Structure 1
Amino acid sequence: MSYGQRPWLARYADDQPADAAPDYPTMLAAWQAAATRSPDAVAIRYFDYACTVSKLDEMADAFAVALSERGVRKGDRVGLYLQNVPQFVIALLGSWKIGAVAVSINPMNKERELTELLTDSGAVALVCLESLYDIARAVLPKTSVRLTITTSELEYQTRNDERIFAGVSRVRQQGTEDMATLIEAHRRDRPAPVELEASDIAVLTYTSGTTGPPKGAMNTHGNMVFNAQTYRDWLKLDERDAIFGVAPLFHITGLVGHVAVALLIPCPLIIACRFEPNVVLEAVREHRATFTIGSITVFIALLNTPGAEREHLASLTKVYSGGAPIPPSTVEQFIDKFGHYIHCAYGLTETNSPAHMVPLNTRAPVDPATGAMSIGVPVYSTVVRIVDDAGAELPPGEIGELVVSGPVVVPGYWNKPEETAKALPGGALHTGDVGYMDADGWFYLVDRKKDQINAAGYKVWPREVEDVLYEHPAVREVAVVGVPDEYRGETVKAFVSLKPGTAAESAELIAFAKERLAAYKYPRSVELLAELPKTVTGKILRRELR
């Protein structure tokens, strides 16, 4: 069976085409069509603020003119150092309207990381929260940034919720320009038309740097509009839906699975600055969000939030998770508590969010041998092969590396031809993830290549051990790593955080795993932590635990 074929279509999603063509060549063209079609629709909800499509378009026009008058040109890079605030979307659209490239920057980045990204991208402008400017101030003289625009998370709302905004105040920064003032100064101005093609870069999104310095994935307009359409069509999203932006907007999941698809439809994008479980629960209920996608740690946090009730998420009928393995036990707990199934999606920065998804209203199979839940099936026009170390394609059931081809894949890394050639030979992305495909076309992720543990010659995949420990009723989060061992060379260690109000000893958890795993797989030690270290997107950081 060829991986290019899709045997699952007839059985699981017979109303889904195997291949698709984008409706629009660029994200800007998609937005312009949406703005013409639905000017009065709500585009953004931010606490008590609602912004229509036409108002968002007007503000993006004004911002584009302000950038242009200050010398920002087509192809220039504009850094966005922001939380999940309306200004992110305004600045993104405004940059596209003059053909500039947005550089999405993690708002948790400190001086070293910010310097790396601004230097590598060659950004000429930076849009920055006032609350982050003290970090930026020390960095900017070392970079090519010549225009700094500041704004505040307090803009565009009046609630000032202490759970989100404690300690935040308005501070005008010397040597910067205020974003709201610029927009007001150019209200009703329109930028000169710009010609963009599908191959033009829309955003530089930087990889997490787990295998070396961060690399800027060149997410093109064609990439982004294709996967925005994938979300729209796969999940049957339309203007009656509302998207809750639980993932950070700087991350590829937030950029495509939240912003791009909301701009394409258009439908409301609900954002709340940053993740706070109680605020999320209240905002979903208040604004009737119907779809979200986020890391599984987000849903674990909601499950363990005191006072969370089924009615909080009653409207949220299209729930997806990506970015980290999903324990089947967590899915069942979410169904029991909130009544909704968590569908899996799998992708990378280099695939513009999903390369695989579980069809809507379909339950993914769980491998009875390993307990792993399927990550889904390839999305439209996407071919995924499983290959061995020599690059030879493996048959169903055999474990190897996932290699992705199709319109979801970026053309390469910014100014890194050697890294591009290594990771994307011939345009096919070698993901570094290990998995297999079953006879029905469902794909399963085993783990990252680099995370495999070699215990006395036996191969142990951390995810399998983690899934077993998640079955323990007291376990909230778990991460498994290999640690040095004099006798075995390497052995298995687990780091565990417990659910509120529960108790468990390390010995109890070791015994629990020992009953359910082969002798070489169960953890020889378990360390209990109050919290496991995570990225801002919710991925648990195994490298820090090592």
Structure 2
Amino acid sequence: MLEVGTKFNVEEKLWEGPEIKPLFNPNVSLGQVIIRMLSMHGPKVAQISDDFGVQTTFNEILIKTIRAAQNLLKMNIPSKSVCGFFASNSPDLSPILFASMCLGCPVSALDPTFGKSELKSIISITKPKVFFCDVNLYDLLEAVLNELNIAATIFTFTGQRRKSMPIETLFAETNTESDFLPIELNGEKETAVIAASYGICGTLEGICLSHTLILDKSTRLSSIGGGDVLLAFSSIYWLSGIANLLKATYYGATRIITTKSYSPEYLLEIIEKYKITHIFASLQQINSALKHENIESIDLSSVKSVALSSRRVPHVDYATIRKFFKNAVPYNMFGLSELGGAISVSRGFQLTLNAYGKLMNGIKVKIVDGNGNRLLVGERGRIFVKSDYYFNGYYGKSGIDAIVDKENFLKTGDVGYFDVDGYLHVLGRESDMIQYENVQIAPEEIETVLHQHSAIKSACVVGVNNLVTALIVRNANASISEEEVCTLIAGNFADSYKLRGGVFFVSELPATQSGKIIRRLAKGIAEKEFESHSNAS
């Protein structure tokens, strides 16, 4: 079970999660743990590539990891230098990622769906001198590196292109494989992953996550065992993609990997074909699969857990998940990139409570008002978090003083409160709050009501000129008018929550690959719609 629970210290006005010792020594590196676990699980099947039709054992990944690390050093790729990844989940990705970690090289990953502007934004921060790239993405990566005037060695998966070196060159025998040891480093101080995220500050940053932090966050799910089969469509750009890979490696489970994009049909096919036991997916992905015309004939009985990357799970969606995943426990998490993942977790029936569950192991939270005074149960304020392990700052920048208070609590940028049962309620980002006539309005409260309407597929509420404004995507063949939406909100909220900025129907909302709505882009759409309608009237 997940190590979660909330205890309220009345005197200190502090909420605390359980205190459970870490699985591994905090001073070790990811590379040391990975080599040990690969050796331990040896002949078991570590991964199955559905599209390549290749099964790989832990032993096979181990030998490739060692050879890749040794050959990188022979090629004068220095240890602890940033390694860039621009690749999908192909069979040889895991040993190359592990080799980088064994050399203490911070990993800076890019999602294979990214275009030129996204690549330039991230690469200009981390400036890797070596890249591991899918061969079909080589031309795009080369063009971006040339524009940024960055000289980098590029290795390509599944082929060779112009100046690239095929990844197979790194798997050449060295005859010293048995002598290999990962480099020694300080797990808490050295960076393992540089996660590109808008995070707390709202600007794109390279968030430096230590070996200790990644180890701690990715080992907090003890229900996974050697007989389990894991599935996540996430690339290693997403922390969920890295966590899925590491969990399987720690516990000797089998991952099903694919370079194909998500589709409802494909998700259901893989679950039934490989008897998947643990799934990580967005709520949107799960919902679309459960609405598939053949869902009633699909055997989903093997699934034990469904981890959802969603802000909130409406009652109707929870009921549908429980209907079809009869043996599974659904999970939802609230987290921060700066803390490497989840702060709190809700599971099972808790998803219907409109909250984000209870605190994870080692987490402490205080809720404060605008003057920094700590608040009590039920009182809304700014959420501050303290963790056993912190991130190592933003890449290329010094210190984290701007986002940590004098008590060493991290400023999350979110607004919320705890209820009497210790459940954390997150109302949204402080920067997303809509200030109307001295009333602070949380967009997610309104969105929760909108999402419960059968005609609404997705919705995003933003402030336009301090007026509450809704963008809505209708379900196929469904009908709902602006007047009906306004009536729905007026019937559930106080006068200040009325949709005075308007209701605008759109074909889609801007979202990440995992399905999370990109609110800043949605606000831009709403502002244009508002201006257009204002001019027309």
- The verdict on a shared fold, with TM-score over 0.5 as the criterion, is yes
- Name which of structure 1's ranges 406-415 and 276-285 shifts more when overlaid on structure 2: 406-415
2:295 maps to 1:304: no
2:24 maps to 1:7: no
In structure 2, runs of 5+ residues without a counterpart are 9-16, 524-537
Cα distance in 1 for partners of 2:456, 2:269 equals 26
- Per the alignment, residue 469 of structure 1 pairs with 450
SS at match of 1:284: helix
- Per the alignment, residue 42 of structure 2 pairs with 39
- 2:31/2:182 contact within 8 Å kept: no
- 1:352/1:408 contact within 8 Å kept: no
- 1:205/1:250 contact within 8 Å kept: yes
CA deviation after TM superposition for structure 1 residue 253, in Å: 2.0
Cα distance in 2 for partners of 1:211, 1:383 equals 21
User: What letter corresponds to residue 208 of structure 2 in structure 1?
Assistant: M
- 1:76/1:123 contact within 8 Å kept: yes
Cα distance in 1 for partners of 2:487, 2:116 equals 44
SS at match of 1:238: coil
In the alignment of these two chains, the number of paired residues is 502
Cα distance in 2 for partners of 1:461, 1:213 equals 21
SS at match of 1:65: helix
- Per the alignment, residue 505 of structure 2 pairs with 528
Cα distance in 1 for partners of 2:368, 2:308 equals 26
- 1:7/1:440 contact within 8 Å kept: no
- Name which of structure 1's ranges 120-129 and 270-279 shifts more when overlaid on structure 2: 270-279
Q: Pairwise mapping of residues 233-382 of structure 1 onto structure 2 (< 5 A)?
A: 233=222, 236-256=223-243, 258-273=244-259, 274-309=261-296, 311-339=298-326, 340-358=328-346, 362-364=348-350, 366=352, 373-382=354-363
- 2:5/2:360 contact within 8 Å kept: no
- Sort the Cα spacing of 1:514 and 1:338 in 2 relative to 1 into closer, same or farther, 3 A: farther
2:230 maps to 1:224: no
- Per the alignment, residue 500 of structure 1 pairs with 476
Partner of residue 133 from structure 2, selected from 125, 128, 131: 128
Cα distance in 2 for partners of 1:428, 1:187 equals 50
CA deviation after TM superposition for structure 1 residue 174, in Å: 0.6
- Per the alignment, residue 197 of structure 1 pairs with 186
- 1:295/1:324 contact within 8 Å kept: no
- Per the alignment, residue 27 of structure 1 pairs with 30
Cα distance in 1 for partners of 2:87, 2:393 equals 25
- Sort the Cα spacing of 1:212 and 1:354 in 2 relative to 1 into closer, same or farther, 3 A: closer
Cα distance per residue 1:39-63 (max 9 Å; x no partner): 0112112203221111111122222
Q: Pairwise mapping of residues 72-87 of structure 1 onto structure 2 (< 5 A)?
A: 72-87=77-92
- Per the alignment, residue 532 of structure 2 pairs with none
In structure 1, runs of 5+ residues without a counterpart are 9-15, 153-169, 368-372, 485-489
CA deviation after TM superposition for structure 1 residue 323, in Å: 4.8
2:380 maps to 1:399: yes
Cα distance per residue 1:382-421 (max 9 Å; x no partner): 2122222333321111112222212353132122225x22
- Sort the Cα spacing of 1:542 and 1:72 in 2 relative to 1 into closer, same or farther, 3 A: same
2:19 maps to 1:18: yes
Cα distance in 2 for partners of 1:400, 1:20 equals 31
2:197 maps to 1:207: yes
- Per the alignment, residue 158 of structure 1 pairs with none
User: What letter corresponds to residue 217 of structure 2 in structure 1?
Assistant: N
- 2:231/2:257 contact within 8 Å kept: yes
2:425 maps to 1:444: yes
- 1:497/1:531 contact within 8 Å kept: yes
Cα distance in 2 for partners of 1:321, 1:310 equals 23
Q: Pairwise mapping of residues 508-527 of structure 1 onto structure 2 (< 5 A)?
A: 508-524=484-500, 525-527=502-504
- Sort the Cα spacing of 1:253 and 1:427 in 2 relative to 1 into closer, same or farther, 3 A: farther
- Per the alignment, residue 60 of structure 2 pairs with 55
CA RMSD of aligned residues (A): 2.6
Cα distance in 1 for partners of 2:385, 2:297 equals 38
Partner of residue 421 from structure 1, selected from 401, 412, 415: 401
- Sort the Cα spacing of 1:443 and 1:202 in 2 relative to 1 into closer, same or farther, 3 A: same
- Sort the Cα spacing of 1:103 and 1:267 in 2 relative to 1 into closer, same or farther, 3 A: same
Percent sequence identity is: 21
- Per the alignment, residue 519 of structure 2 pairs with 542
- 1:453/1:492 contact within 8 Å kept: yes
CA deviation after TM superposition for structure 1 residue 534, in Å: 0.5
CA deviation after TM superposition for structure 1 residue 36, in Å: 2.3
CA deviation after TM superposition for structure 1 residue 481, in Å: 1.1
- Sort the Cα spacing of 1:55 and 1:324 in 2 relative to 1 into closer, same or farther, 3 A: same
Cα distance per residue 1:197-227 (max 9 Å; x no partner): 3122111111137955421111111011111
- 2:209/2:391 contact within 8 Å kept: yes
User: What letter corresponds to residue 344 of structure 1 in structure 2?
Assistant: N
- 1:72/1:100 contact within 8 Å kept: no
Cα distance per residue 1:160-180 (max 9 Å; x no partner): xxxxxxxxxx6x311110113
Cα distance per residue 1:414-464 (max 9 Å; x no partner): 22225x221234653211111111222211111111111122332221111
Cα distance per residue 1:40-89 (max 9 Å; x no partner): 11211220322111111112222212321222222101001112333332
SS at match of 2:38: helix
- Name which of structure 1's ranges 29-38 and 444-453 shifts more when overlaid on structure 2: 29-38
- 1:99/1:194 contact within 8 Å kept: yes
- Sort the Cα spacing of 1:17 and 1:464 in 2 relative to 1 into closer, same or farther, 3 A: closer
User: What letter corresponds to residue 453 of structure 2 in structure 1?
Assistant: H
- Per the alignment, residue 12 of structure 1 pairs with none
- 1:309/1:338 contact within 8 Å kept: no
CA deviation after TM superposition for structure 1 residue 230, in Å: 0.9
